[in-house]
Amino acid sequence: MFSTQLKKDNSTLFIVLFLSIFLFLTGCASHTVLETGVKSVGIHAQEIDPYENFNRKSYAFNEVLDNYVAEPIADVYLWITPKVVQTGVSNFFSNLNEINVVLNDIMQGKLLQGSEDTGRFIVNSTIGLGGLFDVAKELGLEKHDEDFSQTLAVWGVPQGPYLVIPVLGPMTTRGIPGGLFDIAANPTSYVGGIFFPVQLLQVLNARASADGDLRFIDEAALDPYIFTREAFLQYRKNLIADGNVEIEDNIFDLEDELFDEDEEISDKLNNMNNNKFNEQEERQLQQAEAGIVEADLDAKIEALRLKIKLRSANQHGVNNN
Amino acid sequence: MSLIKNRKLITGLFVFFLGFNASVYAEKTSKIDSAVNTEKALEAKDVVLLFQDTLLGVMKKGAELGFKGRYQALEPAIVKSHDLAKVARIVVGKEWKSFSQEQKQKLNEVFSRLSIASYAHNFKGFSGESFEYLSEDETARGGRIIHSVFVLPEDKNVKFDYMLKKKAGNWLIINVIANGVSDLALKRSEYTSILKREGFEALIAKISEKIDNYTNQ
Protein backbone atom coordinates (compact mmCIF):
# COMPACT_ATOMS: atom_id res chain seq x y z
CA MET A 1 0.00 0.00 0.00
CA PHE A 2 2.56 2.51 1.08
CA SER A 3 5.18 1.45 -1.39
CA THR A 4 2.79 1.74 -4.31
CA GLN A 5 1.79 5.19 -3.19
CA LEU A 6 5.34 6.24 -2.91
CA LYS A 7 6.71 4.55 -6.00
CA LYS A 8 7.78 7.81 -7.49
CA ASP A 9 10.15 8.24 -4.65
CA ASN A 10 13.72 7.65 -5.75
CA SER A 11 15.03 6.28 -2.56
CA THR A 12 13.69 3.13 -1.00
CA LEU A 13 15.64 3.94 2.08
CA PHE A 14 13.78 7.20 2.42
CA ILE A 15 10.49 5.39 2.10
CA VAL A 16 11.37 2.97 4.81
CA LEU A 17 12.77 5.67 7.01
CA PHE A 18 9.87 7.96 6.42
CA LEU A 19 7.34 5.27 7.07
CA SER A 20 8.91 4.08 10.23
CA ILE A 21 9.26 7.57 11.61
CA PHE A 22 5.93 8.71 10.32
CA LEU A 23 4.03 5.78 11.68
CA PHE A 24 5.83 5.87 14.95
CA LEU A 25 5.54 9.56 15.54
CA THR A 26 1.97 9.96 14.45
CA GLY A 27 1.07 6.99 16.55
CA CYS A 28 2.67 8.41 19.59
CA ALA A 29 1.62 11.89 18.82
CA SER A 30 -1.90 11.32 18.31
CA HIS A 31 -3.73 9.14 20.75
CA THR A 32 -6.47 10.18 18.39
CA VAL A 33 -5.18 8.98 15.11
CA LEU A 34 -7.77 6.88 13.55
CA GLU A 35 -11.25 5.97 14.23
CA THR A 36 -14.32 4.63 15.92
CA GLY A 37 -17.96 5.22 16.46
CA VAL A 38 -18.76 3.58 19.70
CA LYS A 39 -22.14 3.19 21.16
CA SER A 40 -21.60 3.72 24.80
CA VAL A 41 -18.32 4.18 26.45
CA GLY A 42 -17.32 2.76 29.77
CA ILE A 43 -20.29 0.62 30.45
CA HIS A 44 -19.52 -1.92 27.78
CA ALA A 45 -15.77 -1.87 28.22
CA GLN A 46 -15.42 -5.57 27.62
CA GLU A 47 -17.24 -5.44 24.31
CA ILE A 48 -15.31 -2.41 23.16
CA ASP A 49 -11.89 -3.50 24.35
CA PRO A 50 -11.70 -7.30 24.23
CA TYR A 51 -7.92 -7.20 23.72
CA GLU A 52 -7.20 -5.01 26.71
CA ASN A 53 -4.24 -7.09 27.86
CA PHE A 54 -2.52 -6.81 24.52
CA ASN A 55 -3.57 -3.19 24.12
CA ARG A 56 -2.12 -2.24 27.47
CA LYS A 57 1.23 -3.70 26.49
CA SER A 58 1.20 -1.82 23.19
CA TYR A 59 0.22 1.32 25.00
CA ALA A 60 3.10 0.96 27.44
CA PHE A 61 5.48 0.31 24.54
CA ASN A 62 4.27 3.41 22.68
CA GLU A 63 4.62 5.46 25.83
CA VAL A 64 8.26 4.48 26.17
CA LEU A 65 8.95 5.33 22.52
CA ASP A 66 7.21 8.63 22.93
CA ASN A 67 8.98 9.52 26.15
CA TYR A 68 12.42 8.74 24.79
CA VAL A 69 12.18 9.78 21.17
CA ALA A 70 9.14 11.74 20.06
CA GLU A 71 8.73 13.94 23.09
CA PRO A 72 12.34 15.15 23.30
CA ILE A 73 12.31 16.01 19.58
CA ALA A 74 8.99 17.78 19.88
CA ASP A 75 10.22 19.69 22.91
CA VAL A 76 13.18 21.00 20.96
CA TYR A 77 10.93 21.96 18.04
CA LEU A 78 8.55 23.81 20.35
CA TRP A 79 11.45 25.51 22.10
CA ILE A 80 13.32 26.77 19.04
CA THR A 81 10.34 27.60 16.82
CA PRO A 82 8.45 30.87 17.27
CA LYS A 83 4.73 30.46 17.91
CA VAL A 84 3.82 32.22 14.66
CA VAL A 85 5.90 29.71 12.69
CA GLN A 86 4.31 26.80 14.51
CA THR A 87 0.87 28.13 13.62
CA GLY A 88 1.91 28.61 10.00
CA VAL A 89 3.24 25.07 9.75
CA SER A 90 0.11 23.77 11.36
CA ASN A 91 -2.11 25.72 8.97
CA PHE A 92 -0.09 24.54 5.98
CA PHE A 93 -0.62 20.84 6.68
CA SER A 94 -4.18 21.41 7.72
CA ASN A 95 -4.81 23.07 4.37
CA LEU A 96 -3.36 20.13 2.44
CA ASN A 97 -5.67 17.86 4.41
CA GLU A 98 -8.61 19.97 3.26
CA ILE A 99 -8.71 17.91 0.05
CA ASN A 100 -9.48 14.83 2.10
CA VAL A 101 -12.07 16.75 4.08
CA VAL A 102 -13.86 17.78 0.88
CA LEU A 103 -13.81 14.22 -0.50
CA ASN A 104 -15.36 12.94 2.71
CA ASP A 105 -17.90 15.76 2.83
CA ILE A 106 -19.11 14.62 -0.55
CA MET A 107 -19.07 10.92 0.30
CA GLN A 108 -21.18 11.65 3.36
CA GLY A 109 -23.61 13.70 1.27
CA LYS A 110 -22.74 16.98 2.99
CA LEU A 111 -22.69 19.00 -0.18
CA LEU A 112 -23.06 22.44 1.33
CA GLN A 113 -20.25 21.73 3.76
CA GLY A 114 -18.25 20.33 0.84
CA SER A 115 -18.60 23.58 -1.07
CA GLU A 116 -17.62 25.58 2.01
CA ASP A 117 -14.53 23.45 2.51
CA THR A 118 -13.64 23.78 -1.17
CA GLY A 119 -13.90 27.52 -0.66
CA ARG A 120 -11.62 27.26 2.35
CA PHE A 121 -9.03 25.37 0.35
CA ILE A 122 -9.08 27.85 -2.54
CA VAL A 123 -8.96 30.94 -0.33
CA ASN A 124 -6.25 29.60 1.97
CA SER A 125 -4.14 28.24 -0.88
CA THR A 126 -4.14 31.62 -2.65
CA ILE A 127 -4.73 34.57 -0.33
CA GLY A 128 -3.52 32.47 2.58
CA LEU A 129 -0.15 32.01 0.86
CA GLY A 130 -0.24 28.29 0.22
CA GLY A 131 -2.16 27.58 3.38
CA LEU A 132 0.19 29.28 5.84
CA PHE A 133 -2.60 31.57 6.99
CA ASP A 134 -6.15 30.52 7.75
CA VAL A 135 -7.74 33.50 6.01
CA ALA A 136 -10.94 31.55 5.35
CA LYS A 137 -11.68 31.39 9.06
CA GLU A 138 -11.56 35.16 9.24
CA LEU A 139 -14.07 35.21 6.39
CA GLY A 140 -16.42 33.04 8.42
CA LEU A 141 -15.59 29.68 6.85
CA GLU A 142 -15.00 27.45 9.85
CA LYS A 143 -12.90 24.35 9.46
CA HIS A 144 -14.66 21.00 9.50
CA ASP A 145 -13.38 17.71 10.70
CA GLU A 146 -13.99 14.86 8.32
CA ASP A 147 -12.07 11.75 7.41
CA PHE A 148 -12.73 8.41 5.80
CA SER A 149 -13.24 6.60 9.07
CA GLN A 150 -16.15 8.91 9.80
CA THR A 151 -17.47 8.31 6.32
CA LEU A 152 -17.36 4.56 6.88
CA ALA A 153 -19.26 5.05 10.13
CA VAL A 154 -21.87 7.13 8.32
CA TRP A 155 -22.16 4.35 5.74
CA GLY A 156 -22.93 1.93 8.53
CA VAL A 157 -19.65 0.05 8.77
CA PRO A 158 -19.42 -1.31 12.33
CA GLN A 159 -16.75 0.11 14.54
CA GLY A 160 -15.10 -3.11 15.63
CA PRO A 161 -12.93 -3.55 18.70
CA TYR A 162 -10.62 -0.92 20.10
CA LEU A 163 -6.98 -1.57 19.28
CA VAL A 164 -3.70 -0.06 20.31
CA ILE A 165 -1.20 -0.89 17.61
CA PRO A 166 2.48 -0.76 18.51
CA VAL A 167 3.92 2.39 16.96
CA LEU A 168 0.60 3.39 15.36
CA GLY A 169 -1.40 4.06 18.48
CA PRO A 170 -5.12 3.88 19.24
CA MET A 171 -7.70 2.97 16.62
CA THR A 172 -10.55 0.62 15.99
CA THR A 173 -10.73 -1.96 13.24
CA ARG A 174 -12.85 0.39 11.14
CA GLY A 175 -10.05 2.91 11.46
CA ILE A 176 -7.64 0.74 9.51
CA PRO A 177 -9.19 1.24 6.04
CA GLY A 178 -10.16 4.73 7.19
CA GLY A 179 -6.59 5.66 7.95
CA LEU A 180 -5.22 4.17 4.75
CA PHE A 181 -7.66 6.22 2.68
CA ASP A 182 -6.72 9.38 4.54
CA ILE A 183 -3.05 8.79 3.84
CA ALA A 184 -3.80 8.17 0.17
CA ALA A 185 -5.82 11.38 -0.04
CA ASN A 186 -3.09 13.52 1.46
CA PRO A 187 -0.69 15.14 -1.05
CA THR A 188 2.24 14.88 1.33
CA SER A 189 2.11 11.10 0.97
CA TYR A 190 3.25 11.48 -2.64
CA VAL A 191 6.21 13.75 -2.27
CA GLY A 192 9.66 12.41 -1.70
CA GLY A 193 13.27 13.16 -2.51
CA ILE A 194 14.02 16.76 -1.80
CA PHE A 195 10.60 17.13 -0.19
CA PHE A 196 11.34 14.49 2.38
CA PRO A 197 11.90 17.16 5.06
CA VAL A 198 8.32 18.28 4.44
CA GLN A 199 7.10 14.89 5.51
CA LEU A 200 9.30 14.95 8.55
CA LEU A 201 7.99 18.37 9.43
CA GLN A 202 4.43 17.12 9.14
CA VAL A 203 5.15 14.38 11.63
CA LEU A 204 6.93 16.75 13.96
CA ASN A 205 4.09 19.21 13.75
CA ALA A 206 1.56 16.52 14.59
CA ARG A 207 3.47 15.44 17.66
CA ALA A 208 4.14 18.99 18.77
CA SER A 209 0.49 19.91 18.41
CA ALA A 210 -0.50 16.99 20.60
CA ASP A 211 1.95 17.98 23.28
CA GLY A 212 -0.52 19.79 25.50
CA ASP A 213 -2.95 16.93 25.11
CA LEU A 214 -0.44 14.33 26.19
CA ARG A 215 0.74 16.39 29.12
CA PHE A 216 -2.82 16.85 30.19
CA ILE A 217 -3.42 13.11 30.14
CA ASP A 218 -0.33 12.58 32.26
CA GLU A 219 -1.54 15.16 34.70
CA ALA A 220 -5.21 14.28 35.00
CA ALA A 221 -5.45 10.56 34.34
CA LEU A 222 -5.54 8.04 37.16
CA ASP A 223 -5.18 5.32 34.55
CA PRO A 224 -3.75 6.88 31.38
CA TYR A 225 -4.61 3.84 29.27
CA ILE A 226 -8.30 3.98 30.14
CA PHE A 227 -8.37 7.76 30.02
CA THR A 228 -6.94 7.73 26.51
CA ARG A 229 -9.27 4.99 25.34
CA GLU A 230 -12.40 6.66 26.67
CA ALA A 231 -11.49 10.12 25.49
CA PHE A 232 -10.57 8.74 22.06
CA LEU A 233 -13.74 6.70 21.62
CA GLN A 234 -16.06 9.38 22.91
CA TYR A 235 -14.41 12.08 20.90
CA ARG A 236 -14.57 10.05 17.69
CA LYS A 237 -18.18 9.25 18.33
CA ASN A 238 -18.89 12.92 18.70
CA LEU A 239 -17.11 13.70 15.43
CA ILE A 240 -19.08 11.09 13.53
CA ALA A 241 -22.32 12.54 14.85
CA ASP A 242 -21.07 16.07 14.13
CA GLY A 243 -21.68 16.82 17.77
CA ASN A 244 -25.41 16.16 17.61
CA VAL A 245 -26.33 12.76 18.95
CA GLU A 246 -23.88 12.35 21.74
CA ILE A 247 -25.71 13.90 24.63
CA GLU A 248 -28.77 11.73 24.40
CA ASP A 249 -26.65 8.60 24.61
CA ASN A 250 -24.79 9.93 27.57
CA ILE A 251 -27.95 10.80 29.36
CA PHE A 252 -29.28 7.33 28.99
CA ASP A 253 -26.13 5.74 30.27
CA LEU A 254 -25.89 8.07 33.18
CA GLU A 255 -29.49 7.99 34.14
CA ASP A 256 -29.48 4.24 34.12
CA GLU A 257 -26.67 4.53 36.55
CA LEU A 258 -28.55 7.01 38.66
CA PHE A 259 -31.41 4.62 38.85
CA ASP A 260 -29.25 2.08 40.57
CA GLU A 261 -29.50 4.41 43.49
CA ASP A 262 -33.23 3.97 43.59
CA GLU A 263 -32.65 0.28 43.74
CA GLU A 264 -30.49 0.86 46.75
CA ILE A 265 -33.33 2.66 48.43
CA SER A 266 -35.55 -0.26 47.60
CA ASP A 267 -32.99 -2.64 48.98
CA LYS A 268 -33.01 -0.71 52.21
CA LEU A 269 -36.76 -0.89 52.33
CA ASN A 270 -36.66 -4.61 51.80
CA ASN A 271 -34.12 -5.01 54.52
CA MET A 272 -36.18 -3.23 57.07
CA ASN A 273 -37.02 -5.20 60.16
CA ASN A 274 -40.37 -6.40 59.03
CA ASN A 275 -41.86 -6.98 55.64
CA LYS A 276 -45.07 -5.28 56.46
CA PHE A 277 -46.23 -1.92 55.38
CA ASN A 278 -45.05 0.23 58.25
CA GLU A 279 -45.87 3.82 59.01
CA GLN A 280 -42.58 5.20 57.88
CA GLU A 281 -42.86 3.65 54.46
CA GLU A 282 -46.39 4.84 54.14
CA ARG A 283 -45.36 8.38 54.92
CA GLN A 284 -42.57 8.12 52.37
CA LEU A 285 -45.01 6.97 49.75
CA GLN A 286 -47.43 9.76 50.53
CA GLN A 287 -44.68 12.32 50.28
CA ALA A 288 -43.52 10.89 47.00
CA GLU A 289 -47.04 10.87 45.64
CA ALA A 290 -47.54 14.46 46.71
CA GLY A 291 -44.66 15.26 44.39
CA ILE A 292 -46.78 14.19 41.44
CA VAL A 293 -49.06 17.15 41.99
CA GLU A 294 -46.08 19.36 41.34
CA ALA A 295 -45.43 17.41 38.16
CA ASP A 296 -42.07 16.34 39.45
CA LEU A 297 -41.09 13.42 37.31
CA ASP A 298 -38.55 12.20 39.81
CA ALA A 299 -41.09 12.04 42.57
CA LYS A 300 -43.49 10.26 40.28
CA ILE A 301 -41.00 7.58 39.38
CA GLU A 302 -39.94 7.32 42.97
CA ALA A 303 -43.55 6.83 44.02
CA LEU A 304 -44.07 4.11 41.45
CA ARG A 305 -40.96 2.32 42.52
CA LEU A 306 -41.92 2.52 46.16
CA LYS A 307 -45.35 1.20 45.37
CA ILE A 308 -43.99 -1.78 43.51
CA LYS A 309 -41.43 -2.51 46.16
CA LEU A 310 -43.81 -2.15 49.02
CA ARG A 311 -46.30 -4.36 47.33
CA SER A 312 -43.72 -7.05 46.80
CA ALA A 313 -42.51 -6.60 50.37
CA ASN A 314 -46.06 -7.08 51.56
CA GLN A 315 -46.53 -10.18 49.52
CA HIS A 316 -43.25 -11.45 50.76
CA GLY A 317 -44.38 -10.80 54.31
CA VAL A 318 -47.65 -12.62 53.73
CA ASN A 319 -45.84 -15.57 52.24
CA ASN A 320 -43.50 -15.72 55.19
CA ASN A 321 -46.41 -15.69 57.53
CA MET B 1 -4.09 14.54 9.53
CA SER B 2 -4.23 13.71 13.16
CA LEU B 3 -3.23 17.22 14.02
CA ILE B 4 -6.62 18.76 13.86
CA LYS B 5 -8.26 16.04 15.85
CA ASN B 6 -5.59 16.36 18.45
CA ARG B 7 -5.93 20.04 18.75
CA LYS B 8 -9.62 19.78 19.25
CA LEU B 9 -9.31 17.00 21.70
CA ILE B 10 -6.78 18.97 23.64
CA THR B 11 -8.99 21.96 23.65
CA GLY B 12 -11.97 19.93 24.70
CA LEU B 13 -10.20 18.15 27.48
CA PHE B 14 -8.32 21.18 28.58
CA VAL B 15 -11.24 23.41 28.67
CA PHE B 16 -13.12 20.75 30.45
CA PHE B 17 -10.94 20.92 33.49
CA LEU B 18 -9.50 24.23 32.65
CA GLY B 19 -12.20 26.56 32.71
CA PHE B 20 -15.64 27.54 32.24
CA ASN B 21 -15.72 31.21 31.69
CA ALA B 22 -19.04 32.77 31.95
CA SER B 23 -19.99 35.86 30.12
CA VAL B 24 -23.12 36.38 32.02
CA TYR B 25 -25.33 39.14 30.84
CA ALA B 26 -26.32 41.80 33.28
CA GLU B 27 -29.93 40.74 33.33
CA LYS B 28 -29.05 37.14 33.98
CA THR B 29 -26.73 38.14 36.78
CA SER B 30 -29.32 40.29 38.43
CA LYS B 31 -31.86 37.51 38.12
CA ILE B 32 -29.45 35.12 39.76
CA ASP B 33 -28.61 37.66 42.43
CA SER B 34 -32.22 38.20 43.31
CA ALA B 35 -32.77 34.45 43.45
CA VAL B 36 -29.74 34.06 45.66
CA ASN B 37 -30.78 36.91 47.91
CA THR B 38 -34.27 35.61 48.40
CA GLU B 39 -32.84 32.11 48.85
CA LYS B 40 -35.24 30.81 46.27
CA ALA B 41 -34.15 27.63 44.50
CA LEU B 42 -32.25 28.49 41.34
CA GLU B 43 -33.23 27.26 37.92
CA ALA B 44 -30.86 24.70 36.40
CA LYS B 45 -29.55 27.27 33.96
CA ASP B 46 -28.81 29.78 36.69
CA VAL B 47 -26.91 27.20 38.73
CA VAL B 48 -24.57 26.76 35.76
CA LEU B 49 -24.27 30.46 34.99
CA LEU B 50 -23.60 31.35 38.59
CA PHE B 51 -20.92 28.70 38.86
CA GLN B 52 -19.28 29.85 35.64
CA ASP B 53 -19.34 33.40 36.88
CA THR B 54 -17.53 32.42 40.05
CA LEU B 55 -14.94 30.54 38.05
CA LEU B 56 -14.42 33.49 35.79
CA GLY B 57 -13.79 35.69 38.81
CA VAL B 58 -11.28 33.20 40.20
CA MET B 59 -9.52 32.94 36.84
CA LYS B 60 -9.15 36.69 36.59
CA LYS B 61 -7.50 36.79 40.00
CA GLY B 62 -5.81 33.44 39.44
CA ALA B 63 -2.19 34.51 39.74
CA GLU B 64 -2.52 36.61 42.86
CA LEU B 65 -4.69 34.03 44.63
CA GLY B 66 -2.27 31.16 44.09
CA PHE B 67 -3.35 27.53 44.29
CA LYS B 68 -4.49 27.73 47.90
CA GLY B 69 -6.44 30.90 47.33
CA ARG B 70 -8.13 29.49 44.25
CA TYR B 71 -8.98 26.30 46.10
CA GLN B 72 -10.58 28.22 48.94
CA ALA B 73 -12.45 30.52 46.60
CA LEU B 74 -13.80 27.67 44.49
CA GLU B 75 -14.64 25.17 47.19
CA PRO B 76 -17.95 26.68 48.32
CA ALA B 77 -19.04 27.33 44.72
CA ILE B 78 -18.28 23.78 43.61
CA VAL B 79 -19.83 22.16 46.67
CA LYS B 80 -22.95 24.26 46.23
CA SER B 81 -23.43 23.70 42.50
CA HIS B 82 -22.27 20.09 42.10
CA ASP B 83 -23.63 16.91 43.56
CA LEU B 84 -20.18 15.57 44.35
CA ALA B 85 -21.50 12.76 46.54
CA LYS B 86 -23.62 11.43 43.70
CA VAL B 87 -20.80 11.77 41.21
CA ALA B 88 -18.44 9.90 43.53
CA ARG B 89 -21.02 7.15 43.82
CA ILE B 90 -21.59 6.92 40.05
CA VAL B 91 -17.91 6.85 39.10
CA VAL B 92 -17.26 3.71 41.12
CA GLY B 93 -20.24 1.91 39.61
CA LYS B 94 -21.60 -1.19 41.23
CA GLU B 95 -18.60 -1.47 43.53
CA TRP B 96 -20.17 1.21 45.70
CA LYS B 97 -22.41 -1.34 47.33
CA SER B 98 -19.46 -3.44 48.43
CA PHE B 99 -17.81 -0.56 50.28
CA SER B 100 -17.97 -0.18 54.05
CA GLN B 101 -19.33 3.03 55.50
CA GLU B 102 -15.78 4.20 56.21
CA GLN B 103 -14.73 3.51 52.65
CA LYS B 104 -17.70 5.43 51.28
CA GLN B 105 -16.81 8.38 53.46
CA LYS B 106 -13.18 8.20 52.47
CA LEU B 107 -14.04 8.09 48.77
CA ASN B 108 -16.42 11.04 49.10
CA GLU B 109 -13.79 13.03 50.90
CA VAL B 110 -10.89 12.44 48.49
CA PHE B 111 -13.14 12.75 45.45
CA SER B 112 -14.37 16.16 46.58
CA ARG B 113 -10.83 17.30 47.22
CA LEU B 114 -9.71 16.05 43.81
CA SER B 115 -12.57 17.83 42.05
CA ILE B 116 -11.83 21.14 43.73
CA ALA B 117 -8.05 20.76 43.41
CA SER B 118 -8.25 20.04 39.68
CA TYR B 119 -10.34 23.17 39.16
CA ALA B 120 -7.96 25.21 41.31
CA HIS B 121 -4.95 23.84 39.48
CA ASN B 122 -6.32 24.43 36.02
CA PHE B 123 -8.02 27.78 36.54
CA LYS B 124 -4.80 29.66 36.68
CA GLY B 125 -5.48 32.65 34.54
CA PHE B 126 -7.61 34.44 32.04
CA SER B 127 -6.94 35.39 28.43
CA GLY B 128 -10.21 36.64 27.03
CA GLU B 129 -12.23 33.41 27.02
CA SER B 130 -15.94 33.64 27.36
CA PHE B 131 -18.85 31.35 27.81
CA GLU B 132 -22.12 31.53 25.89
CA TYR B 133 -25.38 29.97 26.94
CA LEU B 134 -27.17 28.22 24.06
CA SER B 135 -30.22 26.32 25.18
CA GLU B 136 -31.78 24.03 27.73
CA ASP B 137 -33.22 20.53 27.33
CA GLU B 138 -35.21 18.33 29.60
CA THR B 139 -34.23 14.69 29.71
CA ALA B 140 -36.67 11.82 29.65
CA ARG B 141 -36.24 11.35 33.35
CA GLY B 142 -36.64 14.92 34.48
CA GLY B 143 -33.00 16.00 34.42
CA ARG B 144 -31.81 19.09 32.60
CA ILE B 145 -29.11 19.66 30.02
CA ILE B 146 -27.67 23.12 29.71
CA HIS B 147 -26.02 23.56 26.32
CA SER B 148 -23.33 26.15 26.04
CA VAL B 149 -20.24 27.07 24.10
CA PHE B 150 -16.84 27.99 25.36
CA VAL B 151 -15.45 30.71 23.14
CA LEU B 152 -11.69 30.70 22.78
CA PRO B 153 -10.22 33.81 21.22
CA GLU B 154 -7.49 31.86 19.43
CA ASP B 155 -9.15 28.53 18.76
CA LYS B 156 -12.26 26.77 17.63
CA ASN B 157 -15.17 26.94 20.05
CA VAL B 158 -15.79 24.02 22.35
CA LYS B 159 -19.24 22.68 23.04
CA PHE B 160 -20.05 22.45 26.71
CA ASP B 161 -23.03 20.58 28.03
CA TYR B 162 -23.93 20.33 31.69
CA MET B 163 -26.20 17.69 33.04
CA LEU B 164 -28.13 18.57 36.16
CA LYS B 165 -30.30 16.56 38.46
CA LYS B 166 -32.67 17.84 41.12
CA LYS B 167 -31.87 16.97 44.70
CA ALA B 168 -34.00 18.18 47.59
CA GLY B 169 -35.43 20.93 45.42
CA ASN B 170 -32.09 22.17 44.13
CA TRP B 171 -30.58 21.67 40.70
CA LEU B 172 -27.07 20.27 40.91
CA ILE B 173 -24.47 19.57 38.24
CA ILE B 174 -23.63 15.89 37.92
CA ASN B 175 -21.78 15.87 34.61
CA VAL B 176 -19.96 18.08 32.18
CA ILE B 177 -19.61 17.01 28.56
CA ALA B 178 -16.96 18.86 26.57
CA ASN B 179 -17.06 18.34 22.79
CA GLY B 180 -18.81 15.05 23.42
CA VAL B 181 -16.36 13.81 26.02
CA SER B 182 -18.24 13.09 29.21
CA ASP B 183 -16.33 13.61 32.43
CA LEU B 184 -18.55 11.21 34.32
CA ALA B 185 -18.22 8.41 31.76
CA LEU B 186 -14.49 8.90 31.54
CA LYS B 187 -13.93 8.88 35.28
CA ARG B 188 -16.29 5.96 35.69
CA SER B 189 -14.27 3.86 33.27
CA GLU B 190 -11.05 4.76 34.99
CA TYR B 191 -12.28 4.22 38.53
CA THR B 192 -14.11 0.97 37.93
CA SER B 193 -11.10 -0.38 36.06
CA ILE B 194 -8.73 0.52 38.90
CA LEU B 195 -11.08 -0.96 41.49
CA LYS B 196 -11.32 -4.17 39.52
CA ARG B 197 -7.62 -4.48 38.84
CA GLU B 198 -6.05 -3.04 41.97
CA GLY B 199 -8.69 -2.51 44.62
CA PHE B 200 -10.02 0.26 46.82
CA GLU B 201 -6.81 1.29 48.54
CA ALA B 202 -5.02 1.70 45.21
CA LEU B 203 -7.79 3.94 43.95
CA ILE B 204 -7.61 6.17 47.01
CA ALA B 205 -3.81 6.26 46.74
CA LYS B 206 -3.97 7.30 43.08
CA ILE B 207 -6.51 10.03 43.78
CA SER B 208 -4.43 11.31 46.69
CA GLU B 209 -1.35 11.38 44.49
CA LYS B 210 -3.18 13.53 41.93
CA ILE B 211 -4.29 15.93 44.65
CA ASP B 212 -0.69 16.21 45.86
CA ASN B 213 0.55 16.85 42.34
CA TYR B 214 -1.98 19.60 41.80
CA THR B 215 -1.22 21.14 45.16
CA ASN B 216 2.53 21.13 44.70
CA GLN B 217 2.80 22.32 41.14
Mind listing the pLDDT tens digit for each residue in A172-208? 999 999 999 999 999 998 987 778 888 889 989 999 9
A106-117: pLDDT as tens digits = 999 999 999 999
Mutate to test the interface with B, among A171, A216, A225 (most CBs of B within 10 A): A216
Interface contact flag, B140 A296, Cβ < 8 Å = no
Interface contact flag, B189 A45, Cβ < 8 Å = yes
pLDDT classification of A282: cutoffs 50, 70, 90: low
Mean pLDDT of A8-34: 39
Mean pLDDT of B123-137: 89
Mean pLDDT of B151-168: 86
pLDDT classification of A53: cutoffs 50, 70, 90: very high
Q: What is the pLDDT of residue A233?
A: 93
Q: How far apart are CA A51 and CA A267, in angstroms?
A: 36
Q: What is the pLDDT of residue B155?
A: 76
Question: Is the minimum CB–CB distance between B173 and chain A shorter than 8 Å?
Answer: no
Which residue of chain B is at minimal alpha-carbon distance from A148? B1
Q: What is the pLDDT of residue B160?
A: 86
Q: What is the pLDDT of residue A295?
A: 45
B16-53: pLDDT as tens digits = 443 333 333 444 555 555 555 555 789 999 999 999 89
Q: What is the pLDDT of residue A317?
A: 44
* Closest CB to B6 among A29, A223, A239: A29
Q: What is the mean pLDDT of chain B?
A: 83
Mean pLDDT of B45-68: 93
Query: Which chain A residues are closer than 8 Å to B127 by Cβ?
Result: none
A297-320: pLDDT as tens digits = 555 556 566 666 666 555 544 344
A137-177: pLDDT as tens digits = 999 999 999 999 999 999 999 999 999 999 889 999 999 99
Q: What is the pLDDT of residue A66?
A: 94
Q: How far apart are CA B151 and CA A241, in angstroms?
A: 21
Q: What is the pLDDT of residue A292?
A: 44
The percent of residues in chain A predicted with pLDDT above 70, rounded, is: 62
Q: What is the pLDDT of residue A247?
A: 60
Q: What is the pLDDT of residue A240?
A: 93
Which has the minimum average pLDDT: A99-103, A116-120, A312-316, B183-187? A312-316
Mean pLDDT of A270-294: 52
C-alpha torsion angle, residues B53, B54, B60, B65 (rounded to 10): 180
Q: Is the predicted pLDDT of residue B8 greater than 90, yes or no?
A: no
In chain B the first and final C-alpha atoms are separated, in Å, by 33
Structural domain total, chain B = 1
pLDDT classification of B122: cutoffs 50, 70, 90: confident
Mean pLDDT of A228-252: 79
Higher pLDDT, A196 or A276: A196
* Closest CB to B181 among A100, A234, A297: A234
Mean pLDDT of B106-128: 92
Closest CA to A31 of B178, B12, B9: B9
Question: How far off is chain B from A149, nearest CA to CA, in Å?
Answer: 12
SS (H, E, C) chain B: CHHHHHHHHHHHHHHHHHCCCCCCCHHHHHHHHHHHHCCCCCCHHHHHHHHHHHHHHHHHCHHHHHHHHHHHHHHHHHHHHECHHHHHHHHCHHHHHHCCHHHHHHHHHHHHHHHHHHHHHHCCCCCCCEEEEEEEEECCCCCEEEEEEEECCCCCCEEEEEEEEEECCEEEEEEEEECCEEHHHHHHHHHHHHHHHHCHHHHHHHHHHHHHHHHHC
Query: Which chain A residues are closer than 8 Å to B93 by Cβ?
Result: 257
Which has the minimum average pLDDT: A114-118, B25-29, B83-87, B175-179? B25-29
| Domain housing B12 | 2-216
Query: Which chain B residues are closer than 8 Å to A97 by Cβ?
Result: 1, 3-4
CATH classification of the domain holding B83:
3.10.450.710
Q: How far apart are CA A217 and CA A264, in angstroms?
A: 34
